[in-house]
């Protein structure tokens, strides 16, 4: 029980970090057009980058006032909109008085370090942008929330979710957990090939290598710089983002 409270407290501390609510990448579908927006707010200045029709990119400045982020006169398919963010929600509001439109802008990720072109590719390939990057495995939790003293704890093994869909596990994790008699003959060719994809909140990893192919599924949850992946059996791996 003591271990459970320690691990739970650690997760709460990691999850307590909050991001600027204005910064992020958003998506909307306007007149059959896919539009991606990146909003960056710093010191009262709002900057909007946009990517539409899979080829058009641009940038414009906006205003931050009374808790709202406001971009005026944004054109899509010869129609003019105002883009407004308030209370964490965004909307495109048309200026056409005869046929007014009110289109919700959906949040995609807080990862403003990713380009809009890359974001659109990730979405099309079923790769959650928030997972992209390097993570360090901290420890495993049993289904009842107890920290497991296993081969992961204290080793700081790394995993990488690449933008091209490759899943790369720390070679040290593979070497350290090979049978003792095989370690001396360890080669990078022993590392299996793996890919990843997401289906909603489900993470799917496919592994192929010298053994037969396998597929694993888990539920993932990301908050700030903490990643939790929970297997079908109820075991959870806690990761932190490597910077």
Q: Where are the alpha helices (DSSP H) in 16-54?
A: none
User: Which token pair is 243?
Assistant: 């910077």
Residue 150 and residue 167: Cα distance in Å, rounded? 22
Q: How confident is the model at residue 67 (pLDDT cuts 50, 70, 90)?
A: confident
pLDDT tens by residue, 197-229: 999 999 999 988 655 678 899 999 999 899 999
Residue 233 and residue 243: Cα distance in Å, rounded? 30
Which of 241, 232, 204 shows the shortest CA–CA distance to 19?
241
CATH number of 24-109: 2.40.128.20
The whole-model pTM stands at: 0.77
Residue 11: the pLDDT is 46
How does DSSP classify residue 166? B
pLDDT tens by residue, 9-57: 444 444 444 445 578 999 999 888 889 999 999 888 899 999 987 777 8
> Checking DSSP bridges between strand 133-141 and strand 236-241, what pairing results, if any?
antiparallel
Class of domain 130-241: mainly beta
Q: Is the pLDDT of residue 3 over 50?
A: no
* Beta-carbon count within 10 A of 227 CB: 25
- Averaged pLDDT, 187-204: 84
| Domain assignments of the chain as residue spans, ordered by start | 24-109, 130-241
Tell me if domain 24-109 and domain 130-241 are identical in fold. Answer: yes
Residue 157: the pLDDT is 93
Residue 229 and residue 218: Cα distance in Å, rounded? 6
The rounded percent of the chain whose pLDDT value lies above 90 is 55
Phi and psi torsions of 201, nearest 5°? -95, 10
- Alpha carbons within 13 angstroms on the beta-carbon side of residue 117 total 4
80, 74 in Cβ contact below 8 A?
yes
Q: Is 24 left (phi over 0), alpha (psi -120 to 50) or beta?
A: left
Phi and psi torsions of 151, nearest 5°? -70, -10
Residues 132-150 as b/e (b if ≥16 CB within 10 A, e otherwise) read bbebbbbbbbbeeeebbee
DSSP SS3 for 214:
strand
């Amino acid at each position: 029980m003591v271990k459970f409270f320690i691990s739970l407290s650690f997760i709460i501390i990691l999850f307590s970090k909050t991001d600027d609510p204005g910064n992020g990448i958003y998506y909307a579908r306007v007149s059959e057009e896919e539009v991606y927006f990146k909003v960056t707010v710093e010191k009262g200045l709002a900057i909007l980058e946009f990517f539409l029709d899979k080829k058009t990119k641009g940038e414009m400045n906006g205003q931050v006032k009374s808790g709202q982020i406001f971009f005026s006169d944004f054109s899509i398919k010869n129609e003019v909109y105002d883009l407004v963010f308030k209370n964490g929600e965004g909307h495109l509001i048309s200026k056409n008085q005869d046929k007014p439109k009110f289109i919700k802008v959906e949040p995609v990720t807080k990862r403003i370090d990713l380009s809009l072109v890359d974001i659109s590719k990730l979405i099309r390939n079923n790769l959650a942008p928030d997972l992209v990057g390097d993570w360090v495995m901290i420890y495993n939790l049993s289904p009842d929330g107890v920290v497991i003293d296993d081969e992961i704890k204290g080793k700081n093994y790394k995993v990488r979710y690449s933008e091209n869909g490759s899943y790369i596990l720390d070679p040290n994790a593979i070497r350290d957990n090979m049978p003792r008699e095989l370690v001396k003959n360890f080669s990078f060719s022993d590392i299996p090939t793996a890919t990843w994809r997401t289906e909603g909140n489900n993470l799917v990893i496919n592994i192929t290598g010298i053994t037969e192919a396998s597929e694993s599924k888990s539920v993932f949850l990301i908050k700030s710089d903490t990643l939790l992946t929970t297997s079908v059996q109820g075991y959870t791996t806690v990761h932190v983002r490597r910077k």
